[in-house]
Chains A and B, each alone.
Chain A
Amino acid sequence: MSDQHLITAILPEDVDTLDLAAVLERDFAISATFRHSARGVGRTTRRRRRATLIPERRNVFYVIVEAERAESVLTWLLEAARVDRYGGGLVFERRLGQTLLAGAD
């Protein structure tokens, strides 16, 4: 089995991660996806006295994919999850070590 990469997307709450998972399964035959909710704490205003940290709801979405296809899945994800906008979240990719994907690859 080839090297596996983990793509993590930290997304605003209006992106439907279940929808993303369904399309990945249908178009890419990838079922190794999972998600959880989170809160994003960021510098939202530029008050000098103290950076105000305002929590907002986030969804964290993960995809495990072989290294060769990571590029295309990442590109697709950036488009599908509308990362290309203000407050659109971010996507990052990591290499995985030993990976077991029984029935998922």
Chain B
Amino acid sequence: MTDPASPPPREAPNILLLAATAELDRRELLTLVAQHVGRLLAEQLRLVVPLASWLLVFQWLVLRQDVTGLRWILLGLVAVVVGLMLFMEGLRLGLMPLGETLGRELPARSTLARVLGVTLLLGIGVTFAEPAIAALRAAAALIDVQETPYLYALLELWRIPLILAVGSGVGLAALLGTLRLLRGWSLKPLIHLALLPTLVLTGVFGLHPDLQQILGLAWDSGAVTTGPVTVPIVLALGVGVASAVGTGNNPLAGFGVVTLASLFPVLAVLLLGLAAVLMLDPADILAAAAMVDNEAGSTAAQGWLAAVLAEVLAAVQAVVPLVLFLLLVLLLMLGSRLPRPGEIAYGITLCVLGMALFKVGVATGLAALGEQVGSLLPTAFVAVPGVEVAPLYDLLPGIALVLAFGALLGLGATMAEPALNALGTTVEELTDGAFRNRTLRMAVSIGVAIGVALGIVKLLWHLPLPWLLLPGYGLALALTWFSREEFVNVAWDSAGVTTGPITVPLVIAMGLGLGGATGALQGFGVLALASLGPIISVLTTGLWARWQSSRLRPMTQREAGRL
């Protein structure tokens, strides 16, 4: 041991302060800006290009069909890339700082009842703001009122109750998630408590011919509830609450607010379905359906410009009310001030612009391409009227190709999802890079890939959904039991945020194509499985990492001994 009383002579610190001292001329400034934009653009290109090329290559080489309207599709893809870039930059500069400020200030300056009230309203509000449920209705295009009257009734006649059920499910989940943070409850028992009744109900519904119809819808609504605007705000809120409460050593303690948001809506829709079966008579539904069909004929014609405007409107609707609500709470209820208000306003503007461009791009580019490939997909293994060459391949290789297509589609689409990107960024930020954004997204994407492939198996062989969901969630429960709290939080949260505006239309287009060819009654259930996959894959990644680091330790010991 050295003598602390005689320290070594102090040396002059060697300082390289180039960044702080050099003055930049205009050219260097422009270079900096160009580098920044280039970096942002490259990030999105890396995500969107593989997905789009996979779709194009599959259509050309495997299905051997031309892509119709290629020019518009390419233009749409450019819009997706630029839109995503603007949106993510807007998140970074506007929405995330706003959410973080609220998360820091709300628990510090307000009563428990108010905090819970705000989160409940936020949860319900976001379901209306980002109506992913609307996307689910597209999956109902194939349903037959005669065969599945109750499913039709929920989607068409009980639209508002359905959205309300999902909304209150998300609201309650956010409320319970926040209460959990404030009280320091563990997430595991909550997951077990919420999952058991849902699984039991699913099992029971699976045995009943009428109740069976709505299982797919119920589980899919759980999968699509949270979107790219909601997720960063809810995450930031959770992180803020957690740091205000003081969470000790677990930097990921703030996660888990949206976890239950993938379970409670399922329960709510199941109960709504039960009510529908008890209250409605199939004959009445058929009569109502006939009337709706007559009205629909007259409003079907819609122009190209109107479609674009609708997407822009949806983008404004997704961002603006939510931001106004947050500002109202921050400025009026809490009386706090915004840091860098100009920058936040700029960020929010970027969010709206980016979201609008992105949505238009998805509609004209990605979804259009997905629909083409999806509708042609069955030609790989069955004869399809109007396509001479079909079936292109023997039954089994054809099906293998379709499974590979679905898995890679799920993988690529999930990698590009903006909400998951925001989640990954937050995880990386909170763990100081020990858990990387890319690692998390890769784990989640692999889970989605497996989930989508399972969903295709379900569609092709008409497997009942409970057969896949019950063992799957059983496995998830077992893994949850063995995993560390922080991984449980992140894994279940990623399940809640995974399926977003890129995955949903692509998966539904594929499901419709396959469902139409194989006579499946509905395309539902694929998204539910795509949402289950990440829970299992992220928990497995966590357990694997723990095993790895315990395996490496003895090597270090030997190394230390040798030196």
A and B touch in the complex (CB under 8 A): yes
On A, residues with C-beta under 8 Å from B are 13-18, 37-40, 43-46, 54-59, 70-71, 86-87, 95
Assess whether B246 is in contact with A18, with CB atoms less than 8 Å apart: yes
Assess whether A56 is in contact with B549, with CB atoms less than 8 Å apart: yes
Assess whether A57 is in contact with B434, with CB atoms less than 8 Å apart: yes
Assess whether A87 is in contact with B556, with CB atoms less than 8 Å apart: yes
CA distance A26 to B555 in the complex (A): 39
- Say whether B17 faces chain A, with CB atoms less than 8 Å apart: no
Given the complex, which residues of B lie within 8 Å of A95, measured CB to CB?
7, 10
Assess whether A39 is in contact with B249, with CB atoms less than 8 Å apart: no
Given A39-B433, A44-B556, A46-B559: A16 and B249 interface contact (C-beta under 8 Å): yes
Q: Quick one: which of A16, A44, A71 has the most chain B CB within 10 A?
A: A44
Assess whether A37 is in contact with B557, with CB atoms less than 8 Å apart: no
Q: A17-B248, A44-B552 are in contact. List 15 more A-B contacts (CB 8 A).
A: A13-B249, A16-B248, A16-B249, A37-B251, A37-B430, A37-B431, A39-B432, A44-B555, A45-B555, A54-B548, A55-B433, A57-B251, A59-B249, A86-B556, A95-B7
Given A38-B432, A55-B434: A86 and B553 interface contact (C-beta under 8 Å): yes
CA distance A40 to B556 in the complex (A): 15
Interface residues contributed by chain B, number (CB under 8 Å): 23
Assess whether A39 is in contact with B434, with CB atoms less than 8 Å apart: yes
10 A-B pairs with CB atoms under 8 Å apart are A14-B249, A17-B249, A18-B248, A40-B434, A44-B552, A45-B552, A45-B555, A54-B552, A55-B436, A57-B432
CA distance A5 to B248 in the complex (A): 25
CB distance from B326 to the nearest CB of A (A): 27
- Say whether B19 faces chain A, with CB atoms less than 8 Å apart: no
Q: Which residue from chain A places its CB closest to the CB of B250 in the assembled complex?
A: A13
CA distance A71 to B559 in the complex (A): 30
Assess whether A56 is in contact with B4, with CB atoms less than 8 Å apart: no
Partner of A37, one of B7, B432, B548, B553: B432
Assess whether B556 is in contact with A57, with CB atoms less than 8 Å apart: no
Main DSSP-derived SS at the B contact region: loop
Given the complex, which residues of A lie within 8 Å of B548, measured CB to CB?
54
CB distance from B135 to the nearest CB of A (A): 37
Q: Of residues 519 to 563 in B, which have CB atoms within 8 Å of A's CB atoms?
A: 548-549, 552-553, 555-557, 559-560
CA distance A18 to B436 in the complex (A): 25
Assess whether B249 is in contact with A18, with CB atoms less than 8 Å apart: yes
CA distance A39 to B557 in the complex (A): 21
CB distance from A78 to the nearest CB of B (A): 11
CA distance A45 to B559 in the complex (A): 8
The interface bits of chain B over 1-23 (1 if a CB of A lies within 8 angstroms of the residue's CB, else 0) are 00010010010000000000000
